[in-house]
Amino acid sequence: MSSQPPPNETGTRSSLQYAQSLDSADPLRHLREEFIIPSKADIKRRTATKDAATKNDEAEPCTYLCGNSLGLQPKRVSEYVQRYLRVWGSKGVFGHFTELEDQLTSPWLDIGDDPKVPLSKIVGAQSSEVAVMASLTANLHLLMASFYRPTKERYKIILERKAFPSDHACYAVESQILHHNLSIDDAMIFLDPTESRNHYLPTSQILSLIDAHASSTALLLLPGVQFYSGQFFDIPTITSYAQARGITVGWDLAHATGNVPLKLHDWNVDFAAWCHYKYMNAGPGAIAGLFVHSRHGSKTDPTAADFVPRLAGWWGSDKSSRFRMENRFVPIEGAAGWQLSNPSAIDATAVIASLSVFEMTSIEALRERSLKLTGYLEDLLNSLSWDGRSKPFEIITPKNAGERGAQLSVHLEDGLLEPVLEYLEEECAVVDERRPSVIRVAPAPLYNSFEDVWRFVQIFHAACGKAVAQT
């Protein structure tokens, strides 16, 4: 790799050498080796398969800071998936139940159980409190079918909104309310950020809104980490405050799982759901995850008053008690009691492969590393010089590291986004944009290096410089 000095900086902390020294001192630097990092040539060619030799500098890795949108591929996924294909190809239906000496996952009948232990460590749960199934929005629906049971008195759902109801969970909530023949104008209670630029939502504002609707709210459903601003909410405080007022509390952890440490069990969260394609690195649309607290999931007698009703399926039924309850559905204990169908084995295999990389460390160690990476990104961005001009961007993610995960959202001056994106793309710096003005930059805790962060900032600096000069 080239080692030209950073264009506009002179201080030690902003040199490539310093970034590389941080990498050398990083106890988790070996984890990057577990991932396929696309080269610049990979990104630029118009094919997936390799073509002839590429220019030397194009063999360099791209600068991928987009794991908040799609995580990179762990090398093991290919090995695990090929083994899965070999089991299917050589055993057919016996793959459902035959233990093999060289198996990388359980037989398919039990493959849904394999992720439970590693996943429960990541979200801070008992292993029986998590299940791997379906997709994020589907799981939100299934969980709302259980945990949103509106009554005349309590029927509202508190949620937050960025700009459009089409963002993520919003349509799901709207349709749940309509499903119960309630009015969305009356029953959907939105948390609207008072600061419209940075979208910060202080805990106090959330608690006030809970107070304002305390007696009529059935459910609070918030993201653990907000996708736009990157704000990491105070889950324990908000959860217990709402629960003390009789409100059930669920969390959409799409941007939180694998990113920030969670303690879902100890925080007494009622339920949660997440995807595995962002910080969990299991591939686009990968089979999702959910959490149901043991105080709900342990109740398996469907005739008991405290049984949590649910949309049921044969895969969630407890075979051993099938005859006990006069043929009525009796669930498996725990989150698995919400399972509907036999899970996609290829999809579960990818999740298991990816989780095995998480097993090489701990979520606490990853968080420590992540705080350093993101702090370093923030420092470098804030110390860029602009030749007397004012800084052409603002970081809208909370400055308090306890209130954010890996991601920093950068709000650009009007008109800069398109030329900046063009430059970043040309230089193979991969980030995610939210038009009209925001880029989201996320050093992934598992695979990004301090050098990645350093390179991104160089490219971004040059991109802004060029864009500003043009406008």
Please list every residue from 182 through 241 that binds ligand PLP, using CB under 6 A: 223, 227
The residue type of 264 is L
The DSSP result for 228-242, as a single string, is TT-BB--HHHHHHHH
Task: Name the DSSP letter for residue 270.
Answer: S
Q: Rule CB under 6 A: say whether 175 interacts with ligand PLP.
A: no
Q: Which of 302, 307, 296, 306 is nearest to 327 (CA)?
A: 302
How far is it, in rounded angstroms, from Cα 89 to Cα 404?
45
Q: Determine the interface stretch with ligand PLP among 27-35, 123-131, 248-256, 368-376 (rule: CB under 6 A).
A: 248-256
- What is the closest distance, in whole angstroms, from the C-beta atom of residue 192 to ligand PLP in the complex? 17
In sequence order, the 6+-apart residues with CB closer than 8 A to the CB of 443 are 65, 67, 370, 373, 374, 377, 406, 452, 453
| Binder of residue 347, out of a copy of itself, ligand PLP, none (CB less than 5 to 8 A by kind) | a copy of itself
Q: Which does 223 bind (CB under 5 to 8 A by kind): a copy of itself, ligand PLP, none?
A: ligand PLP
Nearer to a copy of itself, 137 or 243 (CB): 137
The reply to whether 135 sits near ligand PLP by the rule CB under 6 A is yes
Q: Which of 307, 315, 329, 386 binds ligand PLP (CB under 6 A)?
A: 315
CB 216 within 8 A of CB 183: no
Widest CA span in the chain: 79
Closer by beta carbon to ligand PLP, 201 or else 380? 201
Whole-number Å distance between alpha carbons of 256 and 234: 12
The answer for residues whose C-beta is within 8 angstroms of residue 243's C-beta and 6 or more apart is: 249, 268, 270
Q: In angstroms, what is the minimal distance from the CB of 433 to a copy of itself? A: 11
- C-alpha dihedral (396, 397, 403, 405), degrees to nearest 10: 170
Nearer to ligand PLP, 344 or 458 (CB): 344
Single out the residue of 62, 119, 132, 169 in contact with ligand PLP (rule: CB under 6 A): 169
Considering the complex, state which of residue 160 and residue 347 has its C-beta at the smaller distance from a copy of itself: 347
Under the binding rule (CB under 6 A), the answer on residue 137 touching ligand PLP is yes
Q: Does 433 bind ligand PLP (CB under 6 A)?
A: no
Please, what is the minimum distance in Å from the beta carbon of residue 311 to a copy of itself? 5
Q: Which residues in 333-352 contact ligand PLP (CB under 6 A)?
A: 340-342
- For 53-178, where are the E strands, in sequence order? 63-64, 73-74, 130-132, 156-160
103 binds, among ligand PLP, a copy of itself, none (CB under 5 to 8 A by kind): a copy of itself
Using CB distances below 5 to 8 A depending on partner kind, what does residue 252 bind out of a copy of itself, ligand PLP, none? ligand PLP
Is there binding between residue 419 and ligand PLP (CB under 6 A)? no
How many chain residues touch ligand PLP (CB under 6 A)? 15
Residue 225 binding result from ligand PLP, a copy of itself, none, given CB thresholds of 5 to 8 Å by partner type:
none
HEC string of 385-412? CCCCCCCCEEECCCCCHHHECCCEEEEE
> Percent helix, strand and coil across the chain, each rounded to 5?
40, 15, 45
Contact 159, 221 (CB under 8 A): yes
The single residue among 32, 141, 168, 310 that binds ligand PLP, judged by CB under 6 A, is 168
Three-state secondary structure call for residue 25: coil
Which residues of the chain form contacts with ligand PLP (CB under 6 A)?
135-137, 168-169, 223, 227, 252, 254-255, 275, 315, 340-342
